[in-house]
Each structure stands twice: as C-alpha cells, then as structure tokens.
Amino acid sequence: MCIRRLDWDSDFFGYEVGKVIIPKGISLNATEFYEDAQKFKITYVFSEQEQRIKNLRLVDIKTLLSQSIVERKKSKTRNESVSFFDPRRHNFEDLKELAIASGELSRFNIDKDFKNNEFKRLYVQWIENAVEDSASDVLVYFDGDELLGLTTLKEESNKLSNIGLVAVRADTRGKGVGQSLIDASIKLAKKKGYSEIQVVTQHVNQPAIRLYEKCGFVITQKTYVYHYWNI
C-alpha cells in the first residue's frame, strides 16, 4: 500500500493531503496504514469494498452513472432556456452560489473537520476553472433574468464526456430544470463526437440518481470513500 501525495489538494488547502486506492478484495492493514498516514493531515481512502479500521470515517459512497450516446435518438424538443454561460452577460456571483449549492452533499461539506471554509472555496474554484477552461462547457438555465440551474461538461477521454457540477436552485427543484440541463449536456456531448457520457454523485443523493436514471443513465460503479485525519 502506498499513500500518494495529492499536490493540487495540498497546495489548495494549505496542508498535506494524501490518497490511497484499495483494490477489490483487499482490506487495509491498520498498522501499515497508520504509519504511512502520519505524513498527511488528511488521507482520502477510496475502496471498492467497506473498510473497518479505527478512526476511518465513511464520508461518501461515490456513485458513477454512465450511458452510451452513440445510438441515442436526437430529441425533437428544444429548450430555449438553456444556453452557454457568458461572463460578459451573466452574473458570475449567481453562478458561484449555484456551484456551492451543487456540493451540499459532498464529502467536503459533510465532513465537519474541514474548518477553514474549504468546501465553499473548493466549489468556487471548480466553477471558476470550468468557466476559464476552453475544454469545458458551462450550461445554464435562465427563466427571464433569473439563473435557475447549471451543469458543467468536460472531456474525460477522446470518447468519454463527464458531467461535473449539477445544480438547480432549491425553490425550483422538481420543475424540469435539472432534466433540461442534463438533456442539453447529453446533446452537446453527442454533437462534439463523444460516444459515452458519465456523471458522479453521492449515494445519499437519491433525487439526483433518479433524475440521471430518468435521463438514461445507469449505475456502473460504487466506491466507498473514507477520510482519515491526523488532528
């Protein structure tokens, strides 16, 4: 077992962050893990099965959903409310607020040992990167001048596109905004030549899972995610 230093996370949070991926069928050796983890303030543990050692905290069951879009029929519906985010015309602060809302069930918000506003800073950085990155697309849903939702889309590989952030304003959930954004993301991915698309959410976020399944996604993988803190 080797805990790998995460350079970006360590630099962003300002303390040492490590990550280890545990293959299927392997259980952590507590003595070895504790020794290796001493180099880090926090260690992320990703495992295909449950791990049970002291002070290892389960913070998420990461749920991956995907679908093939090669044979997906072209939708005849057009949603004029969905467009690309344009920082010259649209309010960036509203977009940031939605990005933060998209992570309300993320492990960075659930784990209260993050004490320096890491969660909000992380999601603001995520949406800023998406807007600035020419390889990413930010789709937004407007009702008049009101921003009601967003999705981000980015290449995962030459055949696979990844939906990143997904958010719908709380007071408009259940009104089709999310489905419109996901459908628009799938159409865009297919237009760009991708054959598959995927999205990741938390297992506890059953409304999101139902939405993705309604849009043609199926669950393809679940990963147990743990945090171990040296505090």
Walk me through the domains of the chain, giving residue ranges and CATH numbers. Answer: 4-54 (no CATH), 65-222 (3.40.630.30)
Residue given tokens 């995907």 in the structure block: 66
Query: Average pLDDT of 144-154?
Result: 94
SS (H, E, C) 180-223: HHHHHHHHHHHHCCCCEEEEEEECCCHHHHHHHHHCCCEEEEEE
Query: Average pLDDT of 77-99?
Result: 88
pLDDT score of 79: 72
172 backbone dihedrals φ, ψ, rounded to 5° = -120, 10
Whether pLDDT at 80 is above 80: no
Q: How many CB atoms lie within 10 A of CB 104?
A: 14
pLDDT score of 2: 87
The amino acid present at 94, given as its one-letter code, is D
pLDDT score of 112: 94
Are 165 and 200 in contact by the 8 Å Cβ rule? The answer is no
Residue in 54, 44, 55, 66 with CA at minimum distance from that of residue 156: 66
Which of the residue ranges 147-156, 167-176, 220-229 would you say has the lowest mean pLDDT?
167-176
Whether pLDDT at 74 is above 70: no
The amino acid present at 58, given as its one-letter code, is L
Rounded to 5°, angle at Cα 217 from 131 and 70:
85
Are 189 and 157 in contact by the 8 Å Cβ rule? The answer is no
- How does pLDDT run across 99-134, given as a tens digit for each residue? 999 999 999 999 999 988 899 999 999 999 999 998
Do β-strands 17-22 and 42-47 pair in parallel, antiparallel, or remain unpaired? parallel
Which of the residue ranges 93-97, 109-113, 115-119, 163-167 would you say has the lowest mean pLDDT?
115-119
Whether pLDDT at 59 is above 90: yes
pLDDT score of 134: 87
Query: Average pLDDT of 187-213?
Result: 95
pLDDT score of 78: 58
Whether pLDDT at 76 is above 70: no
Dihedral, CA of residue 175, residue 61, residue 222 and residue 123, to nearest 10: 60
